[in-house]
Chain A
Amino acid sequence: MSKFNKKKSGDLPAISTASLPDIVFMLLFFFMVATVMRQNTLMVKNNLPTADQVEKLDKKDLIMYIYAGEPVDRYQGTYGTSAKIQLNDKFADVSEIQDFIYQERASKREEVVPFLTTALKVDGESKMGLISDIKQELRSANALKINYVTKKGDAVENN
């Protein structure tokens, strides 16, 4: 009988954990790649107005952002305090919007171009004059889908 018992040598062999780091690194890389952190550094004040009849803006890759508002304190010395437009990471003039739209369009795949939306992130204190100038430029560039980005909240009381 002892012939058969021989193989039961007691302890379980330890499971090798050497590949555990590899698995975890794989997860880590996945999350590092999948999460988009691209957020332009804001050079304008951006206290968005509130509204409650809002729609969500999904599909981040189909959105072009235009920021506008007063320059933040750091830039007020150089650029003054009147409201300005920010495209990508620079202050821009109204006339540069069309070029910006064409550039963004060119960087996207052709089949998604009709679905591009322009998101306007404008400070609540700005004047409508600037915004209608922007809208006029967008119309000339034929970028007709726009979205006024807002915070969630009651529109009547907060504004």
Chain B
Amino acid sequence: MAKRAAPEVNAGSMADIAFLLLIFFLVTTTIETDSGISRKLPPELDENQPPPPVIKERNLFTVIVNSNDELLVEDEVMQLKDLRAAAVAFLDNGAEDCSYCQGAKAENSSTNPTKAIISLVNNRGTSYKRYIAVQNELVAAYNELRDREAQSRFGESFVSMEQRYNDPRTSDRDKERLKPRIEEIRELYPEKLSEAEPQKG
């Protein structure tokens, strides 16, 4: 038995193998971010809470969705595609001291965007996608008005301001500048969307 030196293994192709693996992982892993409509739930009711303030009927915009996914807006049947415009008209009505509103100032609609409340009532049989569509349209109505106001005041849409504010790449100085602007617009058109507990049957 002659003692032979073990031949050296050629490690030159090791890099190729590793690269192959690296590229495989780079390609197969998708870093997907979910997106959706953010909402805040009301805190649970306290028993000894003072009763809610009385809201004028004209400041309330009721949207009812029944179990057949049909819409009843302010006691009238409405198609989903008309909802956004109706909500905008209601919010932007501005019958009383609202210098920035461009609405019709109708007698039977909201007095001021800061007082206007949209009330959404669902049925337990309403489908989720219809609910999301209604939510989407109502959020869109708010965004439309906020965008308009932001555009005329700061020359940038509200949605893009918010996006930049939430972007971690935006510098702190920019954020500092954006924050009061966003808050100002939010105060002009506060998002007051109330949801009742769904009705049965």
Q: Which residues in A have some Cβ–Cβ distance to B below 8 Å?
A: 17-18, 20-21, 24-25, 27-28, 31-32, 35-37, 49-58, 60, 63, 117, 119, 121-129, 131-132, 135-136, 138-140, 142-150, 152, 155-156, 158-159
Given contacts A145-B38, A149-B34, contact A128 B122 (CB under 8 A): yes
Closest B residue, CB atoms, query A37: B29
Give the docked Cα–Cα distance between A22 and B51 (Å).
69
Give the docked Cα–Cα distance between A152 and B29 (Å).
21
Question: CB of B39 within 8 A of chain A?
Answer: yes
The smallest C-beta distance from B69 to any residue of chain A, in angstroms, reads 9
Q: Do residues A17 and B12 form an inter-chain contact, with CB atoms below 8 A? A: yes
Given contacts A55-B37, A129-B124, A150-B37, contact A31 B44 (CB under 8 A): no
The smallest C-beta distance from A147 to any residue of chain B, in angstroms, reads 5
Question: CB of B35 within 8 A of chain A?
Answer: yes
Q: Which residues in B have some Cβ–Cβ distance to A below 8 Å?
A: 11-12, 14-15, 18-19, 21-22, 25-26, 29, 31, 33-44, 80-81, 122-133, 135-137, 139-140, 143, 166, 168, 197-198
Give the docked Cα–Cα distance between A147 and B143 (Å).
17
**Residue from B36, B41, B122, B127 in contact with A149 in the complex, judged by beta carbons closer than 8 Å:** B36
Majority secondary structure of chain A interface residues (helix, strand, loop or mixed): mixed
**Residue from A127, A129, A139 in contact with B41 in the complex, judged by beta carbons closer than 8 Å:** A139
The smallest C-beta distance from B130 to any residue of chain A, in angstroms, reads 6
Q: Do residues A155 and B137 form an inter-chain contact, with CB atoms below 8 A? A: yes
List 9 A-B pairs, minimum CB-CB distance, nearest first. A129-B124, A124-B129, A49-B129, A35-B29, A24-B18, A149-B36, A159-B133, A155-B136, A21-B14
Give the docked Cα–Cα distance between A139 and B36 (Å).
20
**Residue from A31, A119, A136 in contact with B29 in the complex, judged by beta carbons closer than 8 Å:** A31
User: Which residues of chain A come closer than 8 Å to B31, judged between CB atoms?
Assistant: 35-36
Q: Do residues A52 and B136 form an inter-chain contact, with CB atoms below 8 A? A: yes
User: Which residues of chain A come closer than 8 Å to B139, judged between CB atoms?
Assistant: 53
